[in-house]
Amino acid sequence: MISIESGDVLGLAAAVSAAVETGLLGLLAEGSITAAAAAGRLDVDTTATTRVYDVLVAARLATRDGDTYALASDLAAMHRAFPGGLTLTAMLFASTAQYVRTGVPAWSMDGDVAQRAEAYRSTVGGLAGMFAAASAAFADAFSCRVPADARVVDVGCGSGVWGLSLLERLPGATLTGVDLPVVLDVFRETATVRGLAGRIVAVPGDMHDVELPAGEVVILANVLRLEPAPRAASLIVRIAAAVAPGGTLVIVDALAEGTPDRDVARAVYALNLSLRTRGASVHAPAQVAAWMAGAGLVDVVPLDFGVWPGAVAAWTGRKPQ
């Protein structure tokens, strides 16, 4: 992450906003293009387009080769991985001013069970790509602490990307994915693609009500953010009960903190979440740790595996023997 002087932040924000509003960023997402070609396609000024693109290059959001501009490689990868790509993300952030005026989010993804199922049915596959690298880094950091034949339970598994990454590193382990029926179809497909279909079990149901199987490792990834504090705390108590004695509960969420880049990532994600939900919240890492301790877990500590989209990080807690 580059360092930007405070006095330049407004200029960078203006350039990014203009690139989004005019469609210049969308053209970069499609592929390499010259400023003249981009201006021609959008019927905008070529010199102004060059100025905006040059700011994006200076901020490492784009690259320039002669007269040709392209998205930076990491942003291009993000575009491919994010559900809806950069276009949908840009549309969401473009609603920020209206959100400030009204307090009403642009979308609502955290309604009742039926609404959540519909919201995630079309996005969970994209989330698998978005978190592929992060889940691999998590599994590399955590798998050495897990028995090779562990029973892994992924509650609210979605595509199963977190549990499946761990399964790939534990040759004797099994994985049970718990989620709504329409989401479990993607879990099964992802496991099949990764050659792990024979080692998984899918349990359909609402995580707040369904009977949870026991596991030496129980994962709750990117779920707490969708719950208000009382439900988040009670969910941790419920899921901690499924951890086998001596086993570990892993909570993955927007828990990155402690450095400027992590704090920025977490604050930006909190805004992103508020733009598409009505009651969701990025819970403070210390609060999540306190809930874990209150659920009877010990040795509650963060698990560092880098800085990733959505400010994801993990906390682990062990259930006493």
> Which CATH number does the domain housing residue 32 bear?
1.10.10.10
CA distance 150 to 172: 7
DSSP summary character for residue 157: -
pLDDT(118) > 70: no
HEC-encoded secondary structure of 210-259: CCCCCEEEEEEECCHHHCCHHHHHHHHHHHHCCEEEEEEEEEEECCCCCC
**Which of 94, 124, 159 finishes a domain?**
94
Instruction: Let me know whether 16 and 121 are in one domain.
Output: no
pLDDT band at 87 (very low <50, low <70, confident <90, very high): confident
Instruction: Let me know whether 57 and 176 are in one domain.
Output: no
Instruction: Let me know whether 155 and 247 are in one domain.
Output: yes
pLDDT(122) > 70: no
Residue pair 109/277 in contact by the 8 Å Cβ criterion: yes
In a domain, 105, yes or no: no
Instruction: Let me know whether 142 and 290 are in one domain.
Output: yes
How much is the pLDDT for 148? Answer: 94
Q: What values do phi and psi take at 302, rounded to 5? A: -75, 150
In a domain, 108, yes or no: no
Instruction: Let me know whether 146 and 179 are in one domain.
Output: yes
pLDDT band at 77 (very low <50, low <70, confident <90, very high): confident
SS3 (DSSP) at 154:
strand
Percent above pLDDT 70 for the chain: 92
CA distance 122 to 3: 36
pLDDT(261) > 90: no
pLDDT band at 22 (very low <50, low <70, confident <90, very high): very high
Domain residues for 15?
A: 6-94
Mean pLDDT of 5-25: 90
**Which of 94, 122, 152 finishes a domain?**
94
Q: What values do phi and psi take at 159, rounded to 5? A: -70, -15
Residue with the larger pLDDT of the pair 2 and 14: 14
In a domain, 1, yes or no: no
Q: Which residues pair with 314 in a beta bridge?
A: 252, 303
pLDDT(274) > 80: yes
Instruction: Let me know whether 126 and 192 are in one domain.
Output: yes
Parallel, antiparallel, or unpaired: how do β-strands 313-318 and 33-34 relate? unpaired
pTM of the model: 0.84
pLDDT(82) > 70: no
Mean pLDDT of 2-24: 87
The pLDDT tens digits of the residues spanning 198-235 come to 999 999 999 999 999 999 999 999 999 989 999 999 99
